[in-house]
Amino acid sequence: MTPLEVHLAERGFGPLQASVWARFLDAVLDALEEAVTRVRHPDYWQEHTSKNGALLKPRPGPAEQHRRLPSEEGVTCALAEQLDEYRKTVPPDHILRSLEVVFRSEARISSRRRTGKNSRRIDIKAESQIGREAPFVVFEAKLIVSLKDLSEAYLGEAGLGCFTLPPEPYPAKGVAGMLAYTVGETTEYWLTAVEDAMAAAVPVPRSQTRMRRASEGEVALWSHIDRPLLDNAEPLNVVHLVMQFEAAATKGGTKAIEPKHQDSLPDTSGSPT
């Protein structure tokens, strides 16, 4: 059994279910890692950041005027594009093909309360197409450049709260994902910061585990959390992935966009200028 398979089996998954889910999740996380590598490539990133909507306006203050942060929506769009390209190139016997896994971005969530333009949209979803009980995982992304972002955005109502708060949490079948798009510091710094922030959350996670995938990919943090505000909700296994990107220099004519949500900005104390 792989470490992830053991991890899931110890947290309520049956033997066969743990095996299928572990293979599915390992493949999905490998695909995300490959997508990040492609997006971070200097040529791709330069082209990406030249597009309208790829960068936010500089934040207020002299210290921030020299850089423009990547927009959360822009990074998600780039990752989704590369996930789709990667999926097309895997061999016929790859787990993504045998489980008929598809990646969706900005997909509307079925709701009893909202529809059309008022529907909520998920950032990224990986879903097997082999039946109603097939595995799937939804990822919520947040731009994180300060510890304040971590507490207010990443762990806030529009972050982890998407899976834990009423009235209509995002769909999750025992597993959910959080993506931290970071700028500055190191992956280890942000992974530790996420781990510490989760440990201080209410309720405290049942467990937290750092784990390297079967493919020897990046280390991820897994938090096993309760969802007491939801009726009859089972505990949730949340995988946290840190994805590092670069800010762009302010010099140049790229058109910026206003951020959609105040809580997606680092240490926001006013409107971007």
CA 160 – CA 163 distance, rounded (Å): 6
Using an 8 Å Cβ cutoff, are 180 and 142 in contact? Answer: yes
In a domain, 7, yes or no: yes
Q: What is the pLDDT of residue 228?
A: 96
In a domain, 268, yes or no: no
In a domain, 256, yes or no: no
Q: What is the pLDDT of residue 169?
A: 93
Q: Count of domains in the chain?
A: 1
Q: What is the pLDDT of residues 168-187, one digit of tens each?
A: 999 999 999 999 999 999 99
Return phi, psi of residue 105, to 5°.
Answer: -130, 140
Q: What is the pLDDT of residue 230?
A: 96
In a domain, 258, yes or no: no
CA 238 – CA 240 distance, rounded (Å): 6
Domain span at 165:
3-248
Q: How far is CA 187 from CA 116, 125, 142, 181, 220, in A?
A: 38, 23, 15, 10, 10
In the predicted model, residues of the chain with pLDDT beneath 70 are: 63-64, 214, 251-273
In a domain, 263, yes or no: no
In a domain, 89, yes or no: yes
- DSSP alpha helix (H) spans, the chain: 3-9, 15-40, 42-49, 72-89, 95-98, 147-149, 161-164, 187-199
How many Cβ atoms sit within 10 Å of the Cβ of residue 236? Answer: 23
In a domain, 212, yes or no: yes
In a domain, 74, yes or no: yes
